[in-house]
Chain A
Amino acid sequence: MSVTNEEYRPLIVAFCCNWCSYAGADLAGNNRLAYPADVKIIRVPCSCRVNPAFILRAFQRGADGVIICGCHPGDCHYTSGNYYTRRRMALLFSMLDYLGIEKERTRVEWVSAAEGAKFAATMNDFCKTVAALGENKRLEDLRCKK
């Protein structure tokens, strides 16, 4: 990270379910819909595979925002996975907020395989929101820094 803040870019980890959102991200690519390179995608079979520990780890290692994308409610490839995601993340995000990781740094978003435009728009918006908040210093474990 640069010392002067003018070039500050947030680090964003995006967990995308294989069946809808990862395909939605691919579609954004096919249509050349740009969004910031700050977003790095990790592919998971279903949004319900995302363990809260993964998110804590990301913040600990210096991520500034974490977003989980899954199929729309009712459309999960495994029928009910995203309902679990919704409930688990609602709890986790309010706990993180309490710890000082503002609610704006975390997000669950439903993006279907046909919604390339929504994927790009969501990422643009999320990057802007997180960038406005600046660096995540609350949970970052400085010992992890090289």
Chain B
Amino acid sequence: MQRIGVFVCHCGTNIAGTVNVEAVSDALRKEPGVVFSTNYQYMCSQAGQDIIKNAIAEYKLTGIVVCSCSPRMHEATFRKTAASAGINPYMVEIANIREQCSWVHKDTLTGTEKAIILGRAAIAKVNLNAPLTPGQTPVTKRALVIGGGIAGIQTALDIADAGFPVDIVEKKPTIGGKMAQLDKTFPTLDCAACILTPKMVDVAQNEKIRIFSYSEVTEVHGFVGNFDVTIKKKARYVREDICTGCGACTEKCPQKKIPNEFNLGMDTRRAIYIPFAQAVPKVATIDPDHCNMLKNGKCGVCSKVCTAGAIDYNAKDEFLTEKYGAIVVATGFNPIPMDKFDEFAYSQSKDVITSLEFERLMNAAGPTGGKLLRPSDGEHPHTLVFVQCVGSRCEACAEKGKEYCSKICCMYTAKHAMLTRDKYPDTEVYVFYIDVRTPGKNFDEFYRRAVEEYGVHYIKGMVGKVSPEGNKLKVQASDLIENRQIHIDADLVVLAAAIEPDKSARPLATMLTASMDTNDFFTEAHPKLRPVESPTAGVFLSGACQGPKDIPETVAQAGAAASKVIGLLCKDQLTGNPCVAHPDEMMCSGCSNCEKVCPYGAITYVDKEFRMPDRTTKVRRVAQVNEAVCQGCGCCTVACMSGAMDLKGFKNEQIFAEVDAICR
């Protein structure tokens, strides 16, 4: 049996004006478990708190009920008071007789009556309270960033700047992501390489940052502050520590005809290659699918020309397991494949290209050295047609496209149209759009410049069909404003392909128990208030993996994610919330109902041995809650049909007791 003390606060006249506090403390003194009851002008004042402390000592109290303002005001205060007098802070309950009683009721009789009932409910609850201790877990002061695009780069730099070590795992041979492939960037038209490559160098030179390029995460265990992550370093057949990046091998390798993925297949590379001149790390990689030596043991040219002796044909995939306190997902996006969009003749004509291919064509380091030339015949195109929203905002074509707006295409199409007209004033440029969406800072001005200064023809309407005829592309389209059909003989058609999350994101989300939306974008812990955290504690989101984003937004989110990580890594210990779910193993049937509803993946299963009444033992699967991960929502307790799962601090019996006290 508890020994409960009741403390009724007057709150000046805030409470005492409507509630007869004397009557309340008298009535509550008669409740079961109560050994002391009093009232005082300001319970939260030093004098008020001393009354509580003295009563705890004098009456050997084990539980406290304070009838006062909202627990959102002073629950923490009274918990501290109790703790300083030697009783567990979770043995304190508040009856809210100000905000939810005296302030909303005018009549003293009903106010007093209700205050007594609220006090009774709190007493009934405290009678069933148990001391709770929040768990403490140490924090590994190292962060992992998965994905080395601009998002991952910025996050890593910011975390390293605060003094914490960071590892970047990038699946490609170099970091840089999509931004490394871009030419100039809206809305300021600075060249992507000029602003990105210095950051890549910073990453390479930062002592706190390690780059695992050509690597993937294959396993994740543990929880916030204590993740164990297995990283697979794919064999690149070149020793990273020895290769100087001179590129001699990439000039001598006889295997020349391999489509160069960095230029989206618009030119070729060798079997041993460095993706681009500013790659980080600047190390060669052998493509095992095309290397003669690796396929049939005949060649070895690169090892002969490599003066550093970096080539190692016997290299194997390596696996290493590292510990991290926090994980940032920055796996970015990709344009969707265009092969299902036959109406635009993408697979029929080389002169129908995607916007990312267009970036490479305009890029001085691209396949044409920055000259805008038709991929089919190398001629200069005069009439260009840009098609926006290819596969975006496509409710009717969900099987090949996406329902959402890809957000960046309106702006980069305006950029492409403007750059084309700027470089080649002899061109006619048409842009077909559903809407032009330009809600960023200086974005609308940018788009208007394309129309007003550069004379780009913007036509509201959809392109119905593109048919290659001779060396022309016949474009059939509708103009929705003038309500007429249009035919254009184009030389180059550029498709603004919808963007989607990287294909590796879903298996990664499963490993991390981080949730995703139906489009495979990672979901945030709260769409408004926690936009850079995933619902899984310790897992953060950066960049386009969370939703379509341009570079300014990506960098802002990357910094925000970094600051959340820094906030976490600054702590030596994580203090948990002790009000977590807890299963009664004797009652649990191992049915998985609770696991399915937990938004945080806090519930797992273990096989446990139980002693049976006949002295035999039986192994049963039972639920187990990871207290560092559980946030205490209580959803699982309701899903549990066996009544095995309960929530500490809000136990079923406690809530029943409150209901009973109110309905008495």
Contacts and interface: CB of A to CB of B under 8 A. Distances in A.
Do A and B assemble together? Answer: yes
Interface of A: 11, 13, 22-23, 25-26, 28-30, 32-37, 40-46, 48-54, 57-58, 61-63, 74-75, 77-81, 84, 88, 120, 146
B635 A29 contact: no
Interface in B625-664: 631-635, 637-639, 647, 650, 652, 655-656, 658-660, 662-664
Interface stretch (B106-114, B383-391, B434-442, B542-550): B106-114
Contact of A26 (B99, B105, B527): B99
A49 B659 contact: no
A29 B525 CA distance: 30
Interface centre among B114, B527, B656, B658, by most chain A C-beta atoms within 10 angstroms, is B658
B270 interface: no
A36 to B, nearest CB: 8
A61 B659 contact: yes
A46 B633 CA distance: 5
6 contacts: A26-B99, A29-B100, A34-B106, A37-B113, A48-B633, A79-B535
B663 A11 contact: yes
Given A42-B659, A42-B662, A146-B664, A50 B70 contact: no
A78 B592 CA distance: 20
Interface of B: 70-72, 96, 98-101, 103-107, 110-111, 113-114, 117-118, 121, 515, 523, 525-528, 535, 579, 597, 599, 631-635, 637-639, 647, 650, 652, 655-656, 658-660, 662-664
B104 A29 contact: yes
A10 B278 CA distance: 75
A74 B385 CA distance: 41
Contacts of A22: 70, 72
A70 B289 CA distance: 56
Contacts of A29: 70, 98-100, 103-104
A126 B118 CA distance: 20
A37 B639 CA distance: 33
Contacts of A37: 101, 105, 107, 110-111, 113-114
Contacts of B515: 79
A87 to B, nearest CB: 11
A52 B638 contact: yes
Contact of A28 (B104, B639, B650, B664): B104
Contacts of A40: 114, 117-118, 121, 662
A49 B631 contact: no
A4 to B, nearest CB: 17
A57 B376 CA distance: 76
A57 B654 CA distance: 13
Given A26-B99, A42-B659, 17 more contacts: A13-B662, A29-B70, A34-B106, A37-B107, A41-B96, A42-B658, A46-B635, A48-B597, A49-B647, A50-B638, A54-B655, A58-B662, A62-B663, A63-B663, A78-B635, A81-B599, A84-B639
B638 A49 contact: yes
B99 to A, nearest CB: 3
A87 B635 CA distance: 12
Nearest to B94: A43
Given A48-B635, A51-B638, A84 B597 contact: yes
A113 to B, nearest CB: 10
Contacts of B101: 37
A112 to B, nearest CB: 11
A13 B659 contact: yes
A120 B96 CA distance: 16
A106 to B, nearest CB: 14
Given A78-B599, A79-B535, A45 B662 contact: no
B637 A51 contact: yes
B633 A81 contact: yes
A73 B629 CA distance: 23
A61 B527 CA distance: 40
Q: Which 8 A-B pairs have the closest CB atoms?
A: A29-B99, A49-B634, A61-B663, A78-B633, A29-B103, A48-B635, A37-B110, A26-B99
A25 B525 CA distance: 25
Contacts of B111: 37
Contacts of B647: 45, 49
Contacts of B579: 45
A51 B104 contact: no
Given A34-B105, A74-B527, A81-B633, A13 B663 contact: yes
A109 to B, nearest CB: 16
A56 B601 CA distance: 30
